[in-house]
Structure 1
């Protein structure tokens, strides 16, 4: 019975024991959950406080601040005690109206994102911020608003500076003539191209934005093929893309057909790994530079030709001087009635032509010794007109229209005659079946214009562009030197003028010689008769070339002068005291003692001695030896007997001679003996 009683009691106690265990387990679980919540709360609080982003908690019902983190307090410049428990306005965010809008959006959607506003700090300064609001339910079921603030002040400042720099860059690129561009590594997409492209290419920038490769369409075919071969292919790992920049030169054709030279300099823009992100570049129009380079090459070519001409001028002119003097003496000896007179005329004509060739070379290179005088262009045209008739032939009519009030000009008379003759020859060749050659003069402002017009075949634009190039000719091989207009250009340029050419294919050509007008009147001419070529004075001839010296002495003796010869400067100084020398005729460039040094030494002993210089060299070489054209009496080789006699007579009569150029009487029946060039 007792055992049964214990069993009954034990069974009755089982529910109580089980209930006790359940309670203890529930307590343990509750405590664990509470601990977890507390730990999470601590971790959240720690994360909240240590977060680098400014954070704040706000009670949505009372709109009071319940918590702020360190980052928010540092941004605002206030302590926790100054913020917690205060109204939301103390967070310094936005205006009351903006805050009300945020609350409405928050209650409607549960969050607010990217609300840009201004935060007013405790010291009154402001910061640009982006605000986010999130509605959170806490563990106790209470609702809180999490306020997140991102400070954008420095970012905005950087963006503003970038926009300002971009604006300045655009203003700069808009004012520069160079074209700036940025494209993808494969060159298929144009990110940017400056407005200067439209002025440079004559095409719209939109055209290139739509199709970047369209920019290559304007490049001349052969240059485009070369450029495509040279361009590094950055998107294909081209081995050539290791350079910091690349330079390419090419030609483009504008919509009007004009060709322009371009220089493109491109730079691959890389990331830190060396990968090309984009290509940037600048294009410069170098057409003017190319033209200057071409002009420099032409100038160097002319300089080389001048050096060549100067090198041969002396010896060649000495030979011509001998031939000219001998043929002149022979002509005087046999007389005009001799059957051999025509042969002598041919010799004289050959001398004139050979001398003209040398002078053309020197004038082309602008190294010819020019004696600029003030003259009347009308008189030169009138004097040359009769000669023109023989040059152009009977099928071409020569007409003149001369301004009677024409201003004077300052130019070498022989050079002006040569200009007229060269242009007349060109006009003749342009009118093989005959036509009209018209010479006209007129005043234009402060210039004098000599206009020579023909109604011949004219020139195409391509030929006209090269008309003044040396050695350029459209004539058959052996029938033209290509020097005519080049010589004209050199002469006129040397005189301070310019050459203008208008030509229409099939209609004719007009060449205008524009020379600066001279303020004073043209010098009066005087005529020297044949008797004034003679004399009885004693002349000392000094020349290292025996043949020139002997021919010159023979010519002067035939004019009645007493002549003493010397082959060197030292020999001349020895000869001076042996007789009363009235005039010394000396070559300038001689071995040992040149003419200038000789003249100075002679005049130091005989101050009244008169000196005439002879030269077959270019102006540069003469000046190097101390002789300036305007300062001395100078005669160029080759010279005719008549020109020599007139120069000597003029120098001997220097104290009493009339100022002005000497007009040599022209024998119209034998004008070929006169050196008109």
Structure 2
């Protein structure tokens, strides 16, 4: 006869009054002389409990993957890192979405995201680890969708088939850009500390004989009978003065005297330094353009240290404009700081050198034209004053140094 079936879920009640889920399969059978209903009732208590546990585990995993600071992935073992799965947090790390990596595959992690300079090294390291069936850990750089470069750390391992072939790679990638920056800063700090200790020990050993050489050379220069001898002695004097200058800058790292801070008018400091350098600026045909906000507030600083900051930055600009040019100086308040802008019209600084510009002994100038310590001294002074300095440059269009210092106030004075 005809047969119909209905399936549904409901709940039944036990004798003790508690309810439990059931699944009912109901069939209707009709023969020639009778009609029959066949019902099969299944207790779903354990199945429902398992389903709920699975849903909770999936929800927890989804929350973890979404909120992880890094990116979890599964990819094919190829140089494009073809993604088969990637956690939603890939958007925060790379700027590209899960859909772009996995569904449409518009973006290749290996080709688009990973910096090409690091790609071959990473591939070789991963393949070596897979060959030995070992997990891998490595650091490299990526470029985000916005064009920013980040340092990342990756840990992963291979998924192998029964025959020992690599079928997939699974791993985790996390942003370590800030950690790398802190490590670089720590290395620089340790280097400066070592340099300061070295300078303290060398100052007397080198300074005393240099003073003797300088004094004797100047004496002989006055008594020299011919021009050739005087020129040779002038060379000695010039080089001794250069050595003395380097030693004085080295000693600035080891200076134990704390900054003697007070309210300082940076415009006055700027004018004093320009007055000292007036002859040099005129000789190099450098035009000075000054812009100072009216009623410029004072800063909380050591006046001697501020003099050194201005002197080093302006001399640095002069050295960048050996054939003349324009030196622009600006002072204006921004929020709770005073900002100093020193801009030259020289040849500029290559982009790859900008991150090293404040390192000790690093110089963009020709050998003999700079010690590589002036900007390092400036950076150290500003750090001690809770200030900051940054540099921007376009090659061929000069460089701009921007200094910020806290405005003098009674509150700042008491905090110090």
TM-score by length of 2: 0.76
Aligned partner of 2:121 among 215, 218, 226: 226
- What is aligned with 1:367? 254
Shift in CA distance, 167/148, structure 1 to aligned 2, threshold 3 Å? same
> Is the contact made by 2:390 and 2:403 (CA closer than 8 Å) also made in structure 1?
yes
> Is the contact made by 1:362 and 1:368 (CA closer than 8 Å) also made in structure 2?
yes
- What is aligned with 1:252? 142
Following superposition of structure 1 onto structure 2, how do residues 119-518 of structure 1 map, counting pairs within 5 Å? Answer: 119-133=12-26, 147-182=39-74, 192-210=85-103, 214-217=108-111, 218-231=113-126, 240-241=132-133, 243=134, 245-266=135-156, 280-320=170-210, 353-363=242-252, 366-370=253-257, 372-373=259-260, 374=262, 375-392=264-281, 393-401=283-291, 405-409=295-299, 411-518=301-408
Distance in 2 separating the partners of 1:189 and 1:382: 62
> Is the contact made by 2:82 and 2:109 (CA closer than 8 Å) also made in structure 1?
no
> Is the contact made by 1:370 and 1:412 (CA closer than 8 Å) also made in structure 2?
no
Shift in CA distance, 264/109, structure 1 to aligned 2, threshold 3 Å? farther
Spell out, residue by residue over 1:352-409, the C-alpha distance to the aligned partner (whole angstroms, 9 max, x if none): 544331121233xx32244634344334333332331233324113354556744444
Shift in CA distance, 314/124, structure 1 to aligned 2, threshold 3 Å? same
Spell out, residue by residue over 1:221-247, the C-alpha distance to the aligned partner (whole angstroms, 9 max, x if none): 34332333333699xxx6533x5x542
Distance in 2 separating the partners of 1:246 and 1:350: 54
Distance in 1 separating the partners of 2:391 and 2:87: 39
**Across the two proteins, how many residue pairs are aligned to each other?**
396
> Is the contact made by 1:452 and 1:511 (CA closer than 8 Å) also made in structure 2?
yes
Distance in 2 separating the partners of 1:412 and 1:171: 52
Shift of 1:155: 1.3
Distance in 2 separating the partners of 1:487 and 1:469: 10
Shift in CA distance, 135/232, structure 1 to aligned 2, threshold 3 Å? farther
Spell out, residue by residue over 1:477-518, the C-alpha distance to the aligned partner (whole angstroms, 9 max, x if none): 444333232222122222332223343333333323323333
> Is the contact made by 2:76 and 2:167 (CA closer than 8 Å) also made in structure 1?
yes
Shift of 1:295: 2.0
- What is aligned with 1:44? none
Shift of 1:286: 1.2
Shift of 1:197: 0.7
Shift in CA distance, 116/440, structure 1 to aligned 2, threshold 3 Å? closer
> Is the contact made by 2:313 and 2:342 (CA closer than 8 Å) also made in structure 1?
yes
Shift in CA distance, 150/247, structure 1 to aligned 2, threshold 3 Å? farther
Shift of 1:206: 1.2
Q: Give the root-mean-square deviation of aligned CA atoms.
A: 4.4
TM-score by length of 1: 0.50
Shift of 1:174: 2.2
Shift in CA distance, 268/322, structure 1 to aligned 2, threshold 3 Å? same
> Is the contact made by 1:189 and 1:211 (CA closer than 8 Å) also made in structure 2?
no
Distance in 2 separating the partners of 1:183 and 1:512: 45
SS at match of 1:355: helix
Shift in CA distance, 400/426, structure 1 to aligned 2, threshold 3 Å? same
SS at match of 1:507: coil
Distance in 2 separating the partners of 1:416 and 1:424: 12
Shift in CA distance, 113/221, structure 1 to aligned 2, threshold 3 Å? farther
Shift in CA distance, 215/506, structure 1 to aligned 2, threshold 3 Å? closer
> Is the contact made by 2:137 and 2:156 (CA closer than 8 Å) also made in structure 1?
yes
Shift in CA distance, 130/184, structure 1 to aligned 2, threshold 3 Å? farther
> Is the contact made by 1:193 and 1:205 (CA closer than 8 Å) also made in structure 2?
yes
SS at match of 1:231: helix
Question: Which structure has the bigger radius of gyration?
Answer: 1
Distance in 2 separating the partners of 1:381 and 1:302: 27
Shift of 1:159: 1.0
> Is the contact made by 1:398 and 1:436 (CA closer than 8 Å) also made in structure 2?
yes
SS at match of 1:372: coil
> Is the contact made by 2:3 and 2:27 (CA closer than 8 Å) also made in structure 1?
no
Distance in 1 separating the partners of 2:370 and 2:345: 20
Spell out, residue by residue over 1:429-485, the C-alpha distance to the aligned partner (whole angstroms, 9 max, x if none): 322321222444444444344433323333344343432233333333444333232
Distance in 2 separating the partners of 1:240 and 1:290: 29
> Is the contact made by 2:65 and 2:72 (CA closer than 8 Å) also made in structure 1?
yes
- What is aligned with 1:108? 2
Point out the structure with the larger strand share. Answer: 2
Distance in 2 separating the partners of 1:368 and 1:123: 86
